[in-house]
Amino acid sequence: MTIHWIKLVLPFFSALFITSLIIPAWIKLCLQWKLFDKPDVRKHHVAIIPSLGGIGIFAGIMISFLLFTPVESISGFHTMIAAIFVLFFTGFFDDLTDLPARLKLIIQAVTAMVVMYSGLRLQTLNGFMGIHELNIFWQYALTGFIILFLTNAYNFIDGLDGLAATIGLIIFSVFSILFYIQHEYSWMMLCLSVMGGLISFLYFNFNPARIFMGDTGSLVIGFLIACSTVKLIGLWFAAPVISFGPALTVATLFILIFDLTRVVFIRLSNGMSPFKADRSHLHHMICRQQFGHRGGTILMAAFNVMFIMLVIPLGKFRFTTFFIFCFCLAIALLNSKVMSAVATLRNKILGEPQKKVPVDTYH
């Protein structure tokens, strides 16, 4: 299927416009209805900020994608769209009433099962690690793990002003290019719709934030990242167009992968439940070194781009070698000692005094 480039980019500008209209109006309604993300001992903001900003992103994405995607292509997305609506309302009620983490995980698992049953699942690894065709059990198990992992990884990273939107924008920018290379234009249009919504939202969410994304947005965006990843991996294993495709896909997601893996390891090592909130995320560690919201967001985005750029010199190596190298590099760089040294160097360059940020300043 060939589509003119103007039709391809229409969802982007449409989502950009729709979200930019909805967010300011929603901020006013939140102030009137007192729908706030109120500060508490677990949060790192001190002001009362309107929440549920994901409503504007969701509306921009859905309207734009459904409006401009060819009718013959939409049929392949019916199940995924239904699952997204379920997650949207799950996030909506969670932002209002704080649903139990396990209940949200169960709902995510059900939506994952639904999209996998519709056909969006890995069926072969094409010889990766000596594995070719997957039986039905491993198709569901592996795909389900990827969907749940990435959905929650994105949800967890929503901790600084502008961070989730910036990371999401980077991911969908790369994914839109990869889908274009694979001639998957409908998926590319979906990615462009998300990009348009995120750019508009970022204008209102970058520090100092005027509205937060909330689970209303992070669950939806995380699920879209997960489904797009499954689709891309399936395409790479079925018919690799570029040799470094799998490495580039994982590099794009690496900040999400490393952050959630690190957090789960720390919590389990401390005898805590992986679902129990704490201050062990990367953005907490970075902010404790005085970078603040803007600095933390920019720094994590820079690391994300760095891992993507590593594909250029290292993409020719085996995928497992590349992944292990990235993981070791992340462990070496993304730790409190290195971040403290970077903060000290920055302060010397800017002529600012070294300050100790209290541990409880950040959520």
Consecutive sets of 10 residues in the chain, 363 residues long: mean pLDDT of each?
75 98 95 74 61 95 94 87 98 93 96 97 86 94 98 93 96 97 94 98 93 96 98 88 86 96 90 80 82 88 96 83 90 86 80 51 38
Distance CA 305, CA 171 (A): 10
Residue pair 147/115 in contact by the 8 Å Cβ criterion? yes
**DSSP bridge partners of 131:** 128
The Cα 31–Cα 146 span in angstroms is 37
Question: What is the rounded CA–CA span in Å between residue 125 and residue 130?
Answer: 8
Q: Is the peptide bond before 353 cis (omega within 30 degrees of 0)?
A: no
- Rounded distance, CA 132 to CA 116, Å? 19
Q: If you ran DSSP here, which 8-state letter would residue 213 be given?
A: -
Q: What is the CA radius of gyration of the chain?
A: 20
Q: What pLDDT is stored for residue 39 in this prediction?
A: 55
Amino acid occupying residue 247: A
Model confidence, pTM: 0.92
SS3 for 321-334 is: HHHHHHHHHHHHHC
pLDDT score for 359: 40
Q: What span, in angstroms and rounded, lies between the C-alpha atoms of 220 and 211?
A: 17
**DSSP alpha helices (H): ranges in the chain?**
5-33, 54-68, 71-74, 78-97, 101-117, 136-156, 163-181, 185-205, 214-238, 245-252, 254-269, 282-287, 292-309, 311-314, 319-333, 336-350
